[in-house]
């Protein structure tokens, strides 16, 4: 890790480590397949190995890291087939969540999303991949949570967690950031109009563009 972002430490050392390692993965600082050097990481974060091990176990349960016997922890890698399957399942589940949210969500849902979108766009202009990934997640889960179906939300959350390491690969490109901003604005327009079909269409496009870009990254290059 190139450095630790200064922030107020949470209540426990384990939670602090969990947030730092998760941020390093979602920002692309720790890339898919990279080994996690526990001694160096514990020294950098000024914690013992105990909270670090517990944090890594939690991240393993989330699917962000994997443990190999005699080799240690590594940032999780997905095959192209895995990634495409996850995004396909997301499309099915999120369509139900968004349709439901547009029926039963709070009256100020669109206004709340517009406020979060301003954060997305500030991060996009600044080229702050970590901040954009965080704001993007808040945007989508504010909409998804509004469906009022906690089991459905948990399933979607698990799918998102498993691809966090790849999201930064997408947002690193300025063109992809601009594309995401455009698609979010279109979703907001559909929500304001109460147009479920348009909202689902734009969210489908949003996911499809991410998959296409990541496909180019994950597809082996021919010699």
Q: What is the pLDDT of residue 221?
A: 57
**Of 59-63, 65-69, 86-90, 139-143, the least confident:** 59-63
DSSP element (H, E) containing 75: strand 72-75
Could you tell me the pLDDT band of residue 57, with boundaries at 50, 70 and 90? Answer: very high
**Of 26-30, 142-146, 172-176, the least confident:** 26-30
Q: Is the pLDDT confidence value at 76 over 70? A: yes
Q: How far apart are CA 168 and CA 209, in angstroms?
A: 14
Q: How far apart are CA 159 and CA 35, in angstroms?
A: 22
Q: Is the pLDDT confidence value at 165 over 80? A: no
Per residue in 90-128, pLDDT tens? 999 999 999 999 999 999 999 999 999 999 999 999 999
Q: What is the pLDDT of residue 30?
A: 85
**Of 29-33, 172-176, 181-185, the least confident:** 29-33
Q: What is the pLDDT of residue 220?
A: 61
Q: Is the pLDDT confidence value at 223 over 60? A: no
Residues 6+ apart with CB under 8 A from 1: 24, 29, 30, 41, 44
Q: What is the pLDDT of residue 168?
A: 75
Q: Is the pLDDT confidence value at 24 over 70? A: yes
Q: How far apart are CA 152 and CA 31, in angstroms?
A: 29
Q: Is the pLDDT confidence value at 214 over 90? A: no
Q: What is the DSSP string of 186-204?
A: HHHHHHHHT-HHHHHHHHH
């Amino acid at each position: 890790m190139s450095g630790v972002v200064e922030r107020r430490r949470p209540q426990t050392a384990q939670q602090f480590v969990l947030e730092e390692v998760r941020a390093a993965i979602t920002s692309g600082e720790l890339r898919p397949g990279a080994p996690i050097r526990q001694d160096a990481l514990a020294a950098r974060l000024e914690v013992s190995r105990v909270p670090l091990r517990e944090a890594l176990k939690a991240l393993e349960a989330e699917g962000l890291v994997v443990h190999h016997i005699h080799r240690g922890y590594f940032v999780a890698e997905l095959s192209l087939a895995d990634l495409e399957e996850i995004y396909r399942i997301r499309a099915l589940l999120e369509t139900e969540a968004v349709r439901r949210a547009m029926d039963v969500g709070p009256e100020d849902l669109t206004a709340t999303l517009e406020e979060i979108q301003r954060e997305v766009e500030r991060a996009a202009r600044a080229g702050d991949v970590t901040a954009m990934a965080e704001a993007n997640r808040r945007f989508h889960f504010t909409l998804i949570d509004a469906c009022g179906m906690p089991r459905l939300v948990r399933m979607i959350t698990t799918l998102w967690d498993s691809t966090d390491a790849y999201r930064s690969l997408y947002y690193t490109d300025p063109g992809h950031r601009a594309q995401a901003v455009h698609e979010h604005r279109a979703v907001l327009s559909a929500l304001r109009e109460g147009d479920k079909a348009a909202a689902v269409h734009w969210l489908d496009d949003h996911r499809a563009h991410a998959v296409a870009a990541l496909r180019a990254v994950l597809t082996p290059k021919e010699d």
